[in-house]
Each structure stands twice: as C-alpha cells, then as structure tokens.
Structure 1
C-alpha cells in the first residue's frame, strides 16, 4: 500500500509539472540592459498548449547575483514585482537600475533574472491535487555606454583557448561576458554551461574546463538575441 501511495504521489507531481510548464513562457532567453536606456522590458506569456486546461498564475520576478553564493542586493528592480496572469494573456515586466554607481563603467556586469510562476488554487479543486510553482531563470547582462553591441557580437573571436594537460583554458581580454554555445574538443562536445568573464583591471578573465579528449578546440558563442554565432577553432 505504501508503494502504491508513492506511485500515485509521483504521478500527481509529474502531471502538475507538465501542466504548469505548458503555460508560462518568457519573451527572451537573455536580457541585455544598455546603460543608455532608462529601462528595459521582458514579456511574460501564459499560453497553454492546445487541449491543456486553462490556468491563471501568480508571477513573481526579481534579479539575483550570477554567483549564487553572493546574497547581496542587486541594483535592479522589476515593475510590477508580483501580479496575476490569466490564461491566454501576457504582461511586460519593466526593469530599471536603482544604483548606477554599483555597476562598473568599463566592463559588463552579469546577473540572473528569476521569474516564478505559482499556479492559482481553485476552491473546487481536489484537496489531494499537488500544485507546484516553477521558475524560469535567464541571464541579465548590463552593458555600459562605452561598450557596443557590435563589438560584443565578435568578442568570442578574441578568446585565447589552449590546453594545460587535461584542462582547457579559456582567457578573455575583452570587457564582455562571453556565453559559449558549443565547445568541442576533437569530436567530443563538452557538455557544460560556460560563461567566460571579462577582463578586470588589465587581467584576463579566465575559466578552466576539465577534458581528457585531445584534438582541435572549436567553439561558438550565444549572441545578444540568443542565437548561435559562427565557429572558431584553435589547435589547442
């Protein structure tokens, strides 16, 4: 009987996930906030799949630090931070900077946008139904006025990529954060999320990835619109 109850609970849990994630989506996979803009916007949509039950969600939004260990307050605020989104509707979140002095002017800064969707609870729903919230997390990049989108688009070509034994070293001398789309070592794809930090005070940003596979190192990057760039190779 205990096993049966666990199986039922698991089924309810999975059904709730499928129902929830079928509805709410974001209008972008990343947000670039240019200093010259007074604010930027992110669309949130509640569009259930065909045949799925209509459901309203409570949407909660905030910005957190890219480094999860850093719990300090970020210099951004969303308006509205909390609202109800009916089925078939959309809303635009407005993001503004609250403390410009906290952001460096000579290089990009990176944060995370969090958008949590909490399913509404209907009074007539069964008390045995399990409702869960889910969360979309995308990158937020703040770009100072001195930096341009044109140079950001080709910054990945400036990466110095080499190998030190079983370690791939990626060095970035530019002031831009570079999100790697695909990194190949020979014919093996490195299955890891990679964001190479910018240079700070003349010192290259650096990231190190373990890989025992030998061969030509090939990579591309994710551009401002969320698409993939062309590829660049290094003998390693």
Structure 2
C-alpha cells in the first residue's frame, strides 16, 4: 500500500477523470448478486507504458482513501502494476455485513491510475493521477420490479406546493434508477429533467413551470449493460 504521507501527496495531485482515463473497466457498473461468492472486475491498460493501479470500495465518501474507506467488501489485489496494453482482473468479495433485503445497496469502486515517473520531466511539474469511480450495486434476490423495465415501476405527477408546481418522479422498485433525462410537455411550456440517480422507493422532486403533464412523457435511463434506453413513463395523477 502507498504510505499515508504519499497518499496525501497523491491526493493533492489527483484529478477525477472518467472520460480520459486510459485504464478502463469492462462495463459501466458492477452488479453484485447477493448469492455470489465473489464477482470479477476486468481492467485494461490502453497505454503504451505501465501504470500502477490502486483500488478500494467506499460508501460514497469522495475524500476516502484505502486507509479510511468503509465498505463491506474485500478487494484483491488492492494494488498492482498493470503492464502496457494488457488486462488484469480484480476480485470483489462481500464480507457478509447486514444489508437491506428488499432493495439494492449502493457502494463505489475507486480505481486510482498512477503513471510512471518521467526522468526527463522537470522537478516542479505535477504528475497527474487519474481516479475513476464506478457504482457497485449489491443486489438481493427477488426484488420488486425489473431492472430491464424500469419504466414499469416509475411514475410521475405534479403537485402544488405553495406558489410552486413540483414534479414528482417516484421509483417504486427495489433497484437504483440511473435516470439520464425525463422529457415532458405541457400547455405552452416544456420541461427536461437532467440526469439523477434515484434510489429504490425514492421520490425525486423538481420545481417546474408546467400546469399539467401531457401524454407522451418519456424517460431515458441507463441499464445494467450501460445501454441508454428511452421508454414512455406513466403519469400517476395530476395536480388539482
């Protein structure tokens, strides 16, 4: 492991980039079925040079380090050298801590990519360290809903709250909804809700200027395979 003092230095130099990281993971999230003994995570180094990889799982703390992270998972190996144009497999094992059985639990896999030092680099230049954060979804069996048909358990409606009109989007399933956008129209105005993660059985509330929801509202979301899916979404009721 990197010593604590070195970790502080890496933290000062670290930049969170997902799109530019040259060490990439197969898939856009990790699904961990509760019945599994362990799951594998495949990493690939697209660089022409080796990278040192350090990985850990946390509960959503952006400032976590391998020493401070708290999550019920064992990850092996936690640190290794990834050769140029090669792959490596991380093994993730759930340690058996108590978790809800009626819904998914969300954790985050942190992948720190440390490039080699350049002997020709000026001493006062910073070395950029890249960190990618990926969702880890611990998934019990027999949850309400279907992760491939989230539109069936997602409902929207409008309500008056004082002088405001508030759009409600309710995820009535045991799965996390990776909402990319919600597109709906009303008399004389339109509204588009940007991407959000909606937890199981959670209701998202957003102020809007609509008077009512017209037929044809659509929800775009990201499924387990990382594909973007657009489906009609049902309006549960209208505001008075």
Alignment gaps of 5+ in structure 1: 1-12, 49-53, 200-204
Report 1:76-87 matches (<5 A): 76-87=73-84
Which residue is 1:51 aligned to? none
How far off is 1:220 after superposition?
A: 2.6
TM superposition score normalised by structure 1: 0.75
Which residue is 1:196 aligned to? 198
Report 1:40-55 matches (<5 A): 40-48=39-47, 54-55=48-49
How far off is 1:234 after superposition?
A: 4.1
In the alignment, the residues of structure 2 paired with residue 112 and residue 45 of structure 1 have an alpha-carbon distance, to the nearest angstrom, of 19
In the alignment, the residues of structure 2 paired with residue 58 and residue 123 of structure 1 have an alpha-carbon distance, to the nearest angstrom, of 17
C-alpha change, 1:17 and 1:30, in structure 2 (3 Å) is closer
Alignment gaps of 5+ in structure 2: 1-12
1:176 correspondence with 2:171: no
1:231 correspondence with 2:226: no
Which residue is 2:58 aligned to? 64
Contact 2:16 2:131 in 1 (8 A): no
1:75 correspondence with 2:68: no
In the alignment, the residues of structure 2 paired with residue 135 and residue 160 of structure 1 have an alpha-carbon distance, to the nearest angstrom, of 35
How far off is 1:29 after superposition?
A: 0.6
Contact 1:166 1:210 in 2 (8 A): yes
Give deviations 1:3-38, integer Å, cap 9, x for gaps. xxxxxxxxxx9xx999x9352211111111111211
Which residue is 1:209 aligned to? 206
Contact 2:218 2:230 in 1 (8 A): no
Contact 2:151 2:231 in 1 (8 A): no
Report 1:13-24 matches (<5 A): 21=20, 23-24=22-23
C-alpha change, 1:88 and 1:231, in structure 2 (3 Å) is same
In the alignment, the residues of structure 2 paired with residue 108 and residue 39 of structure 1 have an alpha-carbon distance, to the nearest angstrom, of 17
Alignment size in residue pairs: 208
TM superposition score normalised by structure 2: 0.74
1:37 correspondence with 2:31: no
